Chain A
Amino acid sequence: NAGVTQTPKFRVLKTGQSMTLLCAQDMNHEYMYWYRQDPGMGLRLIHYSVGEGTTAKGEVPDGYNVSRLKKQNFLLGLESAAPSQTSVYFCASSYGPPFLAPREQYFGPGTRLTVT
C-alpha cells in the first residue's frame, strides 16, 4: 500500500513552459486535493475533486488546471509557468461522505517546482 504518490519529485521550468504533475492514491479515496506551500507559510488549497470527473476551485486556483479522469489519479497542470508558481506542491486524498466527522487527509511527499 503506497498511499499517496507524486510524480515528479523535482522539476525546473522556464517561464512560459507547461507541465503536468501527477498524483496517485491506492486507498480508494473519493476526494483528492492539490495544495501549494511557499517558504515559511502554511499550505494553500489550489483545486480539489470530490469524485471521478469532478473538480472545484480552492483558495488559489489561478494559473492552474486539474483533471480527475480516473478515481485514483488527480493531475495538476500549469499551462504557462510563471516564477510566482515556484513552490512545493502537495497532493492529498481522503474518504468522502458520509461525514459523521471531518475526514483526515493523507498527503503525498511533495513536488518541488522552480520556475526561472
Chain B
Amino acid sequence: DAKTTQPPSMDCAEGRAANLPCNHSTISGNEYVYWYRQIHSQGPQYIIHGLKNNETNEMASLIITEDRKSSTLILPHATLRDTAVYYCIVRVAAAGNKLTFGGGTRVLVKP
C-alpha cells in the first residue's frame, strides 16, 4: 500500500470547517483513500473513502485531486467532539483487507 504523509497536529475553531490534508504521491491506480479517526482511548472509527471522485457523507467530505496525489478531509462544522487523531490510509481491495496505520493528524477543536 502507498505511504501517506499527514501533518502531526492542527487546531480548529468550533463551528468552522476543518480541512485535513493528506499526501499520497505514490498512490497507484487501484488504491483507495480511506479516512478513520480515533477519539481518545476509543477504537478507530471509519469516516469516508474514495477512489477518484469527491465523496460526501453525513460525517465529512473527501476531496481528491485530479492526479490523486493528495486529498483533503473536510469536517464542515467542527464540534468539540471531533477532537481526535485522524488517519489517512491508502489501500487496495485485496484478500486480507488489511489496514496500515501511520501517525495521523491530531486535531484539537477549540471553543
Q: Say yes or no: A99-B93 contact (C-beta < 8 A), given A42-B101, A44-B101, A45-B100.
A: yes
Interface of A is mostly: loop
Contacts of A41 in B (CB 8 A): 103
* Residue pair B97, A107 in contact (C-beta under 8 Å): no
Count residues of chain A with CB under 8 A from any CB of chain B.
32
- In the bound complex, do residue A94 and residue B103 qualify as a contact, i.e. CB atoms below 8 Å apart? no
Residue of A nearest to B98 (CB): A45
The A8-35 residues at the B interface (CB cut-off 8 A) are 31, 33, 35
Contact A100:B43 (CB < 8 A) given known A44-B101, A45-B98: no
Known A48-B96, A48-B98; judge A102-B34 contact (CB<8 A): yes
- Are B97 and A96 in contact (CB-based, < 8 A)? yes
**A42 in complex: contacting residue of B32, B43, B87, CB < 8 Å:** B87
